[in-house]
Amino acid sequence: MSRRSLLALPILFLLLSPEAKALSSVTVYCSLLSEWCELMRASFERDTGIKAQVTTKSTGETFAQIRAEADNPRADVWWGGPTDSHLQAAELGLLETYKSPSLAKLHPWAQRAAELSGWRSVGIYAGTLGIVWNTDALAKRKLPAPKCWADLLNPAYRDEIQMSSPATSGTSYTVLATLVQIMGEEPAFAYMKKLHVNMNQYPRSGAAPMANVARGESLLGITWMFAAVAEAQLGAPVTSAAPCEGTGYEIGSMSLVKGGKNPENARKWYEYVLTPAAQATGARAKSFQIPSNVDAPIPPNTPKLEEVKLIDYDFVKYGSAAERKRLLDRWEKEVAALPK
């Protein structure tokens, strides 16, 4: 090749369409543990030869970013985060319709998530909400282990409980919606105002409370029960319980972002994530949700849905953008703004 031809290559590249430049890539916004996001990126690239640009943020932050980028989407796929957040994005017209040929291989609850979204999302895992605590710290303080939501109001737990902020965390939006469904809205907000006294902070990330409980920086937390399984496997003195009054659960979802620049590669990522082998990467990344593919193994010690007293969680109502905004606005004004 001549020197003139070599000099022309950068100019030719600039003239290529965005589709041509991104021919072998896909951009994924990941609302899961960073370790799982990275492991799936590496696995997908190795098995498909397609470059994956993966960004990890909390569910609330990802939802806000996709909404802000609606006129010029930067992501192709939103992977992870509770179904109700994906339903809100679907309602706002931010997601593409796609009925996966893999649906028949998924558990009924995963298929139901897809149906509720109008085939603009799909269930990829499930997990139950619970109370987690540091067993060593609790024993040292000679405090009782909580078994119910009501137990968390014990004055002995003052400044000892942690929950992420519902405004930025899909985990804690599920907590908020769960309490409203169990107690009724007015009693639930009265409860959360009393619980606020026992809270030490509301981190932005849904993963932070479990990590802080495992390190002994917080005595108790409200988060996913499978998170305690992961920390216990790493040697942390932690355990969990499903509240006696009942608890909510998460169906984690995946969606294609409307207007994404790489639709073909996005669908390849989508189908790859639904395979048993890809779903098994969760446990390898110490993320122990229940996989949605019926042939994917359930991680040992992970609480199964049928083993927990679950509420009939209303994904449609609490997955609406208006209801989410209304509840979060009320929580910010009536709970988060309270003095300690």
Residue 8's pLDDT band, with cuts at 50, 70 and 90, is very low
Say how far residue 300 (Cα) sits from the centre of its chain: 20
**298-337, pLDDT tens digit by residue?**
988 888 888 899 999 999 899 888 999 999 999 999 999 9
Rounded CA-CA distance 101/20 in Å is: 27
Query: Residues 6 or more apart from 293 whose CB is under 8 A from it?
Result: 102, 105, 106, 107, 274, 275, 276, 279
Q: From 3.40.50.2000, 3.90.400.10, 3.40.190.10, 3.40.50.410, which CATH number describes the 127-249+323-336 domain?
A: 3.40.190.10
- CA separation (Å) from 110 to 16, 84, 115? 40, 13, 9
The half-sphere exposure of 312 on its side-chain side, counting CA atoms within 13 A, is 0
- Picking from 120, 130, 125, 205, the residue whose alpha carbon sits closest to that of residue 165 is 205
Task: Write the burial class of residue 59 (CB in 10 Å: 0-12 exposed, 13-18 middle, 19+ buried).
Answer: buried
Q: Domain coordinates of the chain in residue numbers? A: 13-126+251-303, 127-249+323-336
pTM for this prediction:
0.80
Check whether domain 13-126+251-303 has CATH 3.40.50.1100, yes or no: no
Neighbour count for residue 101 (Cβ, 10 Å): 8
**14-61, pLDDT tens digit by residue?**
333 444 444 589 999 999 989 999 999 999 999 999 999 999 998 989
Same topology for domains 13-126+251-303 and 127-249+323-336, yes or no? Answer: yes
Tokens of 127: 């997990």
